[in-house]
Amino acid sequence: MHTVVVGTSGTTAEDVIAVARGNARIELSGEALDALARAREIVDALAAKPEPVYGVSTGFGALASRHISPELRAQLQRNIVRSHAAGMGPRVEREVVRALMFLRLKTVASGHTGVRPSVAQTMADVLNAGITPVVHEYGSLGCSGDLAPLSHCALTLMGEGDAEGPDGVVRPVGELLAEAGIRPVELKEKEGLALLNGTDGMLGMLVMALADLDKLYKSADITAALTLEALLGTEKVLAPELHAIRPHPGQGASAANMAAVLKGSGLTGHFQEESAPRVQDAYSVRCAPQVAGAGRDTMAHAALVASRELASAVDNPVVLPDGRVESNGNFHGAPVAYVLDFLAIAAADLGSIAERRTDRLLDKNRSHGLPPFLADDAGVDSGLMIAQYTQAALVSEMKRLAVPASADSIPSSAMQEDHVSMGWSAARKLRTAIDNLTRIIAIELYAATRAIELRHGLTAAPASLAAIAAARAAGVEGPGPDRFLAPDLAAADAFVRAGGLVAAVEPVTGPLA
């Protein structure tokens, strides 16, 4: 099994995905264990002093003015975890919770939190045992970190609450820890607070969203090329010299991908034929690289923000190398929240342009000779009429999901926390948007492959033929009389979601950008 070693300098997106989705094993480096021990010595020294220090010997948030006596401090740390584990609603996905816990461990291991090495080791042990805390949909405002989600994870370290075991069954945490040979932690000064104060949930979802969108943008370039072929469009608009004079990197990459898919096509180049005369392709076809490219550039910006956050130690207060323990606002989720919302906007536009291309394939007045709705016997058969309705409904929801969560703020903690990021909400709706985008691209794939097969006497590009063959092998059926359509669309969705479309094309085109 792949092993991820956690040090003091952050982590990578690849490691987050390996832990969240690949169940990679986690080890703490010797450097991290030493840094943890040094920071803990500082916290212990401050705890022994009579002067109050926030998070060490005071209450929290709006209650920070109360000095807590030594005999109540362990109770204080337990209580903050229990009281903050106040989430409600459906369970959050296992991969999100694993990313959340791993990223909190990343910050703990930095040596800036004051958490003992034994607590960090327990965090790693819980992940390695395949124990996943039950975390709920609602509870984070994306400021002071993802408080409620992280609290449910910290509760698991204490041996309380419920969690999913490695067998997928939810049981009391105490039972699961005992079976794994893990001793629950007894939290000391600052540790409860340090386990809750991070942007880890929204960051984990951002990292996974970027991985998913990378695959979907390549898939969308392929389906756009298939649609261009099916509509007997021109590939001349993809010429690299045209994109060089507007040098947005994403635009050039998308155009190059489409050109690679279309290389050797017998369906392009019919622009001026009497059967399909036109001057230019419609925007949804001609401007595909510009729209997808803008989304790719948005992803590049989001990836830069994610890389900075992955290198960060997010806690309040933090332990500095000179021995100071200082309050700060680094837990505010604005940087992550903004790009999560930006990605949702870009994804909605990509879904929108894909739906317009699909509609063009189905309209006999705009499809340049294809049968109405790509039906076998139009009138008797409805063809893909309602598949486009489904696609349109998904696009409409994506537009609603594109409304930014980060433009909102709602005060909390008796106005102490009076401006919040709503980054968790931005991340949750982005995950839904990505699910919808996958389905939208799958429907375009379904329509475009059928349309190409209806162009009798013309041969598609080798890459297109490879995509069609792989789709058919995956259960995505071709032209014919009306049938129960939902299973076909589900097969197309599964094919795109698993990366099958990109995998089918790249042996012909070479790696897509």
Q: Tell me which residue of 248, 152, 159 sits closest to 200, measured CA to CA.
A: 152
Could you give the CA distance from residue 331 to residue 201 in angstroms, rounded to a whole number? 12
CB 80 within 8 A of CB 8: no
Q: Tell me which residue of 244, 262, 252, 319 sits closest to 289, measured CA to CA.
A: 252
CB 424 within 8 A of CB 146: yes
C-beta atoms surrounding 58 within 10 Å? 16
The kind and range of the H/E element at 438 are helix 423-453
3-state secondary structure of 93: coil
Strands 3-6 and 25-28: parallel
Q: What is the tally of helices (H) and strands (E) in the chain?
A: 19, 9
DSSP state, residue 373? G
Residue type, 282: A
Question: First and final CA of the chain: distance in angstroms?
Answer: 29
Radius of gyration of the chain measured on its C-alpha atoms: 27
Q: Which residues are catalytic?
A: 54
Could you give the CA distance from residue 147 to residue 151 in angstroms, rounded to a whole number? 6
